[in-house]
Amino acid sequence: MAAVEVRQARSKDTCNRLMRAMEKLSAEKGSENVSVKELIEEAGQKNESVLQYHFGSKAGLLAAIHKARFTQTQVKRREMLAKSLAKKTSPSVRELCHLLVGPTFQLCKSDPGHRQWAKAWGAKNAALVRPTLEEEMIDEGNSVQIISNLLKSSLPHLEDKMFENRCLNVVRFSNLSMSNQAREKGGFSGQKAELFLSNLVDLLVGMFMAEVSEETEVKLRKK
């Protein structure tokens, strides 16, 4: 292997070690409580400057982690969406809701790192006024937007503003639910996990399909 390839491989390995260490520590104590010193130790590195060299700062490391995990989720969702659309061009509301949360569930089930990421940041993202979405982190065309468009056409009783409001609350609720499930021992294995996913999808369907009350209509117009 050429010297350049060796350096590239080492650099990639170091980045991966830092990212996985940050996910692990953040899941245990919260990213805001992780010091650079303990991060470097957990990653098996000797010099704190390695963080600045590869990511610029702890904030840069977190941004890289989120982008990598969102991309991983996007790839999985595209795969599931393609299979769904191959079967029928107009999936049901329940099938579309499953496509919103199924990819994260499957990745948490198969990838311990993704599970730690969901545990560490799902609840925090849900608490934001405007949760971070995949399309803000990834340059490629977004599968969430495709699903959103299909949902909108299936929910004619929701005007644009109300549909956006419900999408926001679905994102918040899904993030919080996945984060809480990641804290459960064996939360993504066995029948208990499958029940969690099925029930979560049921709840999302209910959030989207619920009729808009007159009281809500009045308050929406005043907003």
pLDDT at site 159: 92
Q: Which two tokens stand for residue 80?
A: 């599931």
Q: What is the pLDDT of residue 223?
A: 63
Query: What's the pLDDT at 137?
Result: 61
First to last CA, the chain: 63
The whole-number pLDDT of residue 149 equals 93
- Give the 3-state secondary structure of the chain: CCHHHHHHHHHHHHHHHHHHHHHHHHHHHCHHHCCHHHHHHHCCCCCCHHHHHHHCCHHHHHHHHHHHHHHHHHHHHHHHHHHHHHHCCCCCHHHHHHHHHHHHHHHHHHCHHHHHHHHHHHHHHHHCCCCCCHHHHCCCCCHHHHHHHHHHHHCCCCCHHHHHHHHHHHHHHHHHHHHHHHCCCCCCCHHHHHHHHHHHHHHHHHHHHCCCCHHHHHHHHHC
Residue 182 structure tokens: 């990641």
pLDDT (tens digit, 9 = 90+) per residue, 15-27? 999 999 999 999 9
Per-residue confidence (pLDDT) for residue 174, from 0 to 100: 96
pTM value is 0.89
pLDDT for 6: 67
d(CA 59, CA 22): 11
> Are the C-beta atoms of residues 99 and 160 closer than 8 Å to each other?
no
Name the nearest CA neighbour of 143 among 54, 80, 95, 196: 80
**Model pLDDT, residue 91:** 95
Whether the CB-CB separation of 220 and 162 falls below 8 Å is answered with yes
Helix axes 93-110 and 58-87, enclosed angle (nearest 10): 130
How would you class 121 by CB atoms within 10 Å of its CB: exposed for 0-12, middle for 13-18, buried for 19 or more? buried
Tens-of-pLDDT digits for all 223 residues of the chain? 577 676 778 889 999 999 999 999 999 999 999 999 999 999 999 888 999 999 999 999 999 999 999 999 999 999 999 999 999 889 999 999 999 999 999 999 999 999 999 999 998 888 877 777 666 666 566 788 899 999 999 999 999 999 999 999 999 999 999 999 999 999 999 999 999 999 999 999 999 999 999 898 888 777 6
Tokens describing residue 77: 């969702």
